[in-house]
């Protein structure tokens, strides 16, 4: 057994779990969703029935029935004297139709590979003799790629040298490395909510205590809350996505950037800006930029980028842009995690960077078609849902007309439509009134997926507990 989750922590993670009756099945569904999202890892010990019942203010009989339902579906096992433990789930490969015929994966938010990528790989493979003549171990990254990345920053108004770039094995590797290097156990880290969940996981893994700042599709960043959070908690690090934020799709205005930058400087906070979606403008690709110069470029600002969303998720090339002193610290801290980024991928990345205008033009076309198809389908089939306008990025943060996102996600899985509930992107277990729906899938799949959601939604609404005829919003 690897870990244990307390009753209080489980209750917090469940958020608005009571999405249907009977209560024991709603509780079982809530725990299933946490397991499916890997928010509860396999081989985690669940709280004792009596303990969880007391925290959730339920009868022990209800919790016992929920655990029995989870045993029946193979999500947990219960051993006499050892309690109940979550079980590993079968691995479902993205894009495979292996569980339900015609399954639609709307969990992944990465478009298919840029069509020119195969040709670039063939070009690099033809020069394989040159690549294998190198040592293959380079903790900083190839000079050619670092120069190309630095030149792209410089072209967008942020002068950058190659020694201010560290190449990593994807952006996620960069985030973990930064968290481990910059944070100590118990340090506070400011983060948007909703947010990219794997970033929150990286900060928590480093021992950080997260301080959430709301961001919404309608109002953007809650700047008053952000300024107060910087001043009162003085976080060591702040993780933000200023452009086409995941999952809301919002972009900071220049005034937003200045307010955040000033508050961070006063608090002595290092800003870590995730720019992995920053290039994915849809409506006006001429305004796309990698950098957000209003945030500045001093020692207190670190930028993370990658080719995962622009070229292909399988091209594991990411990077950090920071002052040379921090880059040196990151290089020194890197060996326990990995010894460098593969040479072949770096050589491919250099040639992709040379073709970036073509890459972004194709990406804008694909994402525009997906966005427009998703918006049209939602507005036609689910007019009571609030569908935001997004000018870039990879997904929509859709607001439902009842806080039943988790229940809908569970119901949709039985029909072969795989989604992530809004609570997956929350720092505090909230957001069950939302779904993140990527528009990176084929347009036919998007239309069919929305049709399934529209068919299921009335049943999910009908099964929800009500007070005076209204869905019980207070449970969220």
Taking CA atoms, 411 is separated from 379, 407, 420, 422, in Å, by 21, 6, 12, 15
The reported pLDDT for the residue numbered 61 is 94
Within 8 A by CB and 6+ apart from 384, the residues are: 401
Q: How far apart are alpha carbons 229 and 267 in whole angstroms?
A: 10
Q: Which residues of the chain have pLDDT under 70?
A: 1-2, 90-101, 285-294, 296-299, 466-476
The reported pLDDT for the residue numbered 385 is 98
Q: Nearest 5°: CA angle at 350, between 345 and 352?
A: 90
The answer to whether 146 and 307 have CB atoms below 8 angstroms apart is no
Q: How far apart are alpha carbons 233 and 231 in whole angstroms?
A: 6
The reported pLDDT for the residue numbered 135 is 76
CA 101 to chain centre: 27
The reported pLDDT for the residue numbered 2 is 61
Is residue 130 packed enough to be buried (19+ CB in 10 Å), middle (13-18) or exposed (0-12)? exposed
| Tokens 């507005």, residue located | 379
The reported pLDDT for the residue numbered 204 is 95
| Tokens 């997926």, residue located | 449
- Structural domains of the chain sorted by starting position, each given as residue range(s) with its CATH number in brackets: 3-86 (1.10.10.10), 104-114+359-475 (3.90.1150.10), 117-354 (3.40.640.10)
Q: How far apart are alpha carbons 172 and 203 in whole angstroms?
A: 11
Q: How far apart are alpha carbons 317 and 170 in whole angstroms?
A: 4
Q: How far apart are alpha carbons 40 and 19 in whole angstroms?
A: 20
Q: Which of 35, 147, 115 is nearest to 413 (CA)?
A: 35
254: phi then psi, degrees, rounded to nearest 5 = -55, -35
Q: How far apart are alpha carbons 396 and 244 in whole angstroms?
A: 10
pLDDT (tens digit, 9 = 90+) per residue, 384-406? 999 999 999 999 999 999 999 98
The answer to whether 398 and 431 have CB atoms below 8 angstroms apart is no
Structure token pair of residue 196:
């990219």
Q: How far apart are alpha carbons 86 and 179 in whole angstroms?
A: 28
- Please count the residues of the chain: 476
The reported pLDDT for the residue numbered 100 is 57
Q: What stretches of 334-355 show up as alpha helix (H) in DSSP? A: 343-354
Radius of gyration of the chain (CA): 23
Using DSSP's 3-state secondary structure scheme, residue 154 falls into helix
Sheet with 434-438: list strands edge to edge.
395-399, 434-438, 420-421
Q: How far apart are alpha carbons 313 and 109 in whole angstroms?
A: 10
Measured from the Cβ of residue 210, the count of other Cβ atoms closer than 10 Å reads 17
Q: How far apart are alpha carbons 176 and 22 in whole angstroms?
A: 41
């Amino acid at each position: 057994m690897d870990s244990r989750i307390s009753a209080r922590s489980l209750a917090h993670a469940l958020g608005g779990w009571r999405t249907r009756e009977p209560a024991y099945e709603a509780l079982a569904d809530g725990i299933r969703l946490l397991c499916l999202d890997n928010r509860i890892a396999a081989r985690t010990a669940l709280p004792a029935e009596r303990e969880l019942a007391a925290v959730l203010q339920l009868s022990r009989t209800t919790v016992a029935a929920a655990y029995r339902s989870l045993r029946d579906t193979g999500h947990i096992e219960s051993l006499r004297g050892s309690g109940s433990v979550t079980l590993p789930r079968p691995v479902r490969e993205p894009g495979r139709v292996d569980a339900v015929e015609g399954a639609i994966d709307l969990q992944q938010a990465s478009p298919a590979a840029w069509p020119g990528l195969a040709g670039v790989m063939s070009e690099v493979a033809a020069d394989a003799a040159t690549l294998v003549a190198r040592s293959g171990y380079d903790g900083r990254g190839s000079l050619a790629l670092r120069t190309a990345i630095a030149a792209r920053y410089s072209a967008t108004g942020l002068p950058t040298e190659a020694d201010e770039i560290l190449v990593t094995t994807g952006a996620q590797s960069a985030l973990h490395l930064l968290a481990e290097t910059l944070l100590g156990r118990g340090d506070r880290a400011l983060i948007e909510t909703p947010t990219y969940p794997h970033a929150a996981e990286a900060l928590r893994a480093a021992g950080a205590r997260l301080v959430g700042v709301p961001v919404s599709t309608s109002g953007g960043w809650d700047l008053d809350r952000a300024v107060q959070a910087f001043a009162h908690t003085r976080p060591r690090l702040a993780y933000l996505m200023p452009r086409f934020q995941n999952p809301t799709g919002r972009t900071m205005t220049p005034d937003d950037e200045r307010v955040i930058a000033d508050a961070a400087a006063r608090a002595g906070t290092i800003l870590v800006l995730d720019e992995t979606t920053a290039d994915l403008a849809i409506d006006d690709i001429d305004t796309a930029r990698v950098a957000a110069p209003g945030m500045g470029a001093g020692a207190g600002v670190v930028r993370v980028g990658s080719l995962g969303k622009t070229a292909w998720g399988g091209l594991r090339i990411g990077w950090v842009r920071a002052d040379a002193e921090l880059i040196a610290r990151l290089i020194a801290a890197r060996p326990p995690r990995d010894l460098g980024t593969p040479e072949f991928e770096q050589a491919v990345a250099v040639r992709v960077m040379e073709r970036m205008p073509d890459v972004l033009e194709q990406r804008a076309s694909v994402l525009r078609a997906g966005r427009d198809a998703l918006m049209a389908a939602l507005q036609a089939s689910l007019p009571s849902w609030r569908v935001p306008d997004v000018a870039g990025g990879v997904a929509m943060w859709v607001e439902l007309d009842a806080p039943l996102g988790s229940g809908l996600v569970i119901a949709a899985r039985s029909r072969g439509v795989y989604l992530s509930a809004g609570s997956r992107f929350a720092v505090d277990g909230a957001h069950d009134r939302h779904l993140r729906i990527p528009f990176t899938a084929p347009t036919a799949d998007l239309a069919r997926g929305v049709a399934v959601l529209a068919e299921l939604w009335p049943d999910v609404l009908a099964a929800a507990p009500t007070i005076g005829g209204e869905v019980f919003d207070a449970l969220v």
